Chains A and B, each alone.
Chain A
Amino acid sequence: MNALRLYGRLAAASLRARMQYKMDFLMSTFLYGMLTVSDFLMLAAIMLRFREVGGWNIYEVGLLYGMSWIAMGLYRTFAPELHNFDRYIVYGEFDGLLVRPWPTLLTLLGRNFEPHRLGAAVQGGIILWISVSHLTQAGVLDGLDVAYIVAASIVGALIPFGLSLFTATLAFWVVRTGELQPFTMYAPVTASQYPLTVYPRWLRLLLSSILPVAFINYIPAQYLLGKGGSVWSLVAAPAFGVAFVTVAYAFWRLGERHYHSTGS
């Protein structure tokens, strides 16, 4: 609990720091919004034209899209420095985290809170809300399902967080990891906006194992929409998220130990 309070204080402070540049803040909010719109535009172009993709209709795909962006937006908002972690190794700033009496990851996460990224989660939330209300009216989903979907979207942030933690930890060995992010983060998260069934077999396997974005949305949604899977998939998704982050954190600790013995 203490750790949570410290994180809160750190995040509040970085929010204040960011507010010092109001123009910058407004512009980045606007641009990040545009970036998410470009994703949406492609989805709209496909769905309005073809009505369905891989057997999923516009609202069903909207459900995946919304959950994916909520998870990604929350991760980007609450763990911004993890995304740029290689900088800490390049400039030797990791030492500064090690001389603090807290776990390094906690001190890192509280830095440079990026509230404008929340815009992505809001945008995803709107699409999710539209999709879910249509699916409820059509009798596909009931109230309990909707509650589950909302909770799962939030817990889903664990997956991009875990992917990012894995990528960041590699910086302890290879220093520059920015170039790996398209492969480990952007591409898989983009892939999760569409049903897994559209991808070739090897890609499906990749997206539900090493880059497990299928657990953000596809695995539970498939069951809720009556497209297969078992009731266990509802448990599997959050359980996998927790397990994934746990393993990623163990990897982080390993990286930290490596740093202790070699320095930067």
Chain B
Amino acid sequence: MSAYVLLARKAFRRNLQYRAAHMANNLGSMIFGLIYIAIWQAAARGGDAGPYDAQTLAWWVAFNQVMLWVAVFLPHGLGIPEAVRTGAVSLEMLRPLDYHLLVISRELGTVWYNLWFRTLPLALVFALAIGVYVPQNPATYPLLVCGIVLAVYIGLCQQYLVGISAFWTVESRWAWQLTNTLQIVLSGFMVPIDLLPAPFNHVARVLPFAPLHHDPASIYLELAGAEALLWPFFWAVALTLICRYLTAKARRKLEVQGG
């Protein structure tokens, strides 16, 4: 158990070195957020947005802008492609640790870092700009925690799949970019997915991207209840199975070819 925690702590420290550069990047994220908020508010003021009024949409954008840093903006393939390239991966797989769990916990260090140095400063700025939505129903809080944890885990698993693909292809960079684009377009990050034009709204509902943004945001803004955890829960289980199946295949490939 402690080995996993140690790995996470190391990742946290590594990130800490670049916090000044990250703050400059935060400035960009902040402006992006404020721009999207202004656009949505202007749009919502002019017409019917169903359950989303101007203020709700502003909170929606702000919430997802900060979620981005814990669920979506993760390192390319969680560092696996680099380890495959250098050959370090055979060493890591030989350790008496669970590889899937090892990689995920190592990246949790990065997520933890992002939470403090990306999410928190951005959240403060947005709070000053548009205020904070305080959920009324006490039951919302545990549900929200579950939603966020599932979002982080699903985001990590998707990135893990990108990484593990490096065992079979030389260029996993494309898989990474493709995944990132889908995670932004079809997750409800920019637009609540029921506002997407058909057929995108129907497709996005069942894909594993909505749990990253749409579902936790719906819970936070109390637009949905516990039922918004069904799809995330399903995808967390499904992705776990896929990850573990591919890890076993990768390990076998490594054993056959000797790295």
A positions within 8 Å CB-CB of B = 24, 27, 31, 34-35, 37-38, 41-42, 44-46, 48-55, 176, 179-184, 186-188, 190-191, 194, 197-200, 203
Contact = CB atoms under 8 A, between A and B. Distances in A.
A44 B174 CA distance: 26
Interface of A is mostly: helix
Contacts of B38: 198-200, 203
Interface of B: 21-22, 24-25, 27-29, 31-32, 34-35, 38-44, 46-49, 171, 174, 177-178, 181, 184-185, 190-191, 195-197, 200
B185 A38 contact: yes
B32 A45 contact: no
B195 A198 contact: no
A62 to B, nearest CB: 15
Contacts, number: 104
Contacts of B27: 180, 182-183
Nearest to A199: B38
B35 A38 contact: no
Interface of B is mostly: helix
Given A180-B24, A186-B28, A45 B39 contact: no
Contact of B28 (A34, A187, A198, A200): A187
Contact of A31 (B21, B25, B177, B200): B177
A50 B47 contact: yes
Given A187-B35, A199-B38, A49 B28 contact: no
Contacts of B25: 179-180, 182
Contacts of B49: 49-50
Contacts of A181: 28
